[in-house]
Amino acid sequence: MEYTLVYDIQVTSTPVIVYLGPNRDRWYPQTWQDIIDAASGGLLDESAWVDLKRELATAGGRAHHNTEIAKDLAAMAVDGGMLVIGVADDHSRAGQVVGVELAGLADRVTAVAGTRVSPPVTVRCVEVPDPARPGWGCLLVLVPPSPLAPHMVDSVYWGRTDKGNERLTDEKVRRILAARALLATDIRDKLREFAAGDPFPAETRETGHLYLIVRPAAGAAEALVPLLTSATLLQDVSMLLNRVAAELDYSHLPGADTLRRRAHGAVLSRRLGRKDLTEQGLRDLTLHEDGSLTLMSGQVVERRRPQTGFGDEYRMVWTPWLLGMVHATLLLAGLLGDRHTGYQGQWQIGVRVEGLQDAVPHEATRGMGLDLRDRYDTDVYEAITTADTAELTGSTHAVVERLLGRLLRGLLLDAQYLPYTAEVLRSAMR
């Protein structure tokens, strides 16, 4: 898949990504004139990835028209794309850019996506105002590929072809679900392969280790090469790391001053090579050419003995450290997608923690009503999920909870950390 870069001119200049389908030119609509030029140039002609609406009708019963919007969103969510409201559909070609009244329109579309589609679809609405008519403009409804596709409206699954929406047959539904299961298997295999490459064999470790993969599901093979070969690489990466640290009050990722080019991309690591590697110092964050990030860290779980000197040895999970490392890496991946690779689609994400047998959380050693005798009874924790770039940057906490919520519950930390937010992390780090 290829994605093109536009800007959300309603709120900020932060780049967002519109998927217009294969073999489409890049498009940067920052003004009303840009919309007119794109429509007249054929860039906005209808396809499996672009749907045009002159307006969203309200006459004849809003419930009916909301159902039609829901079908459009459900269909588009299978592969991703964009609904353009305010451009006439001239036999599947972009016609006149007429505009619509924008007041309340984005709220209506968002409400339909959340209430009339099952399961709900995530959308992002971008207003492009008409300078000649205050309150009027075009609304771009950006629909990322959904990890929960296919979606239903009124108990019917919907998909999209070049000719418009279609009811999905049982065979097509099974095919989409099988493809999603294959992606899940793939990221799980990649995660285990990554963990198997740990320089410290499991039988020799003194600490528990963390492995995290954040990979674009449909990114270009060399998406991050322009950044990795840029003369301003250190400054650009440093700026992103500072943004992460400021947002989370968390600065335990390796700094840009430790960044070194490698065959597979660039790695942020305080070690120069294998000779000076220690298990406690293992903290490698790698930026891969395809836009993926991988994190390998030791010392997430440490061996401890009771303070009294009596009793069995146990392991202690540095919970704030673990949450912070995962949260910061996810946010960094999203920022790289937004700012440098032009990718707004789905990401495959997998986390694995090894060395948890007989572990208790750090919080248990500080009281907090937890009992040191309540030990975690499995050595390996593993979870996978998907997210789009908008969720990685705007709702990172939700992705963290999907990845680590089960582990937190197993450590009896529901009350302390769930529901998880960035503020929960900041409080834990104090």
Predicted TM-score of the model (pTM): 0.75
Do residues 6 and 29 make contact, with C-beta atoms less than 8 angstroms apart?
A: yes
Annotated domain spans of the chain: 4-168, 179-195+205-429
CATH number of 4-168: 3.30.950.30
Give the DSSP H or E segment for 62: helix 62-76
Q: Which of 160, 159, 63, 70 is nearest to 109 (CA)?
A: 70
β-bridge pairing 136-143 and 293-304: unpaired
Beta-carbon count within 10 A of 406 CB: 13
Instruction: Please name the amino acid found at residue 66.
Output: N
CA-based angle 338:242:250, to the nearest 5? Answer: 110
Q: Residue 77 has which token pair?
A: 């969510």
β-bridge pairing 50-53 and 81-85: parallel
Residue 366 is classified by DSSP as G
Do residues 13 and 7 make contact, with C-beta atoms less than 8 angstroms apart?
A: yes
CA-to-CA distance for 109 and 115, rounded, in angstroms? Answer: 10
Phi, psi of 126, rounded to the nearest 5 degrees: -125, 120
Tens of pLDDT, residue by residue, the chain (430 residues):
333 333 333 333 444 455 566 555 446 677 899 899 989 988 888 888 889 999 987 645 566 789 999 999 999 998 888 899 999 998 889 999 999 999 999 999 999 999 999 999 988 898 999 999 999 999 999 887 787 889 999 999 999 998 889 999 999 999 988 888 888 889 999 999 999 999 999 999 999 999 999 999 877 889 999 999 999 999 999 999 999 999 898 878 888 888 999 888 999 987 765 566 788 889 999 999 999 999 999 989 998 776 655 556 778 999 999 999 999 999 999 999 888 887 877 899 999 999 999 899 988 877 666 676 788 999 999 999 988 887 899 889 989 999 999 999 999 999 999 999 999 999 988 8
CA-to-CA distance for 304 and 315, rounded, in angstroms? Answer: 6
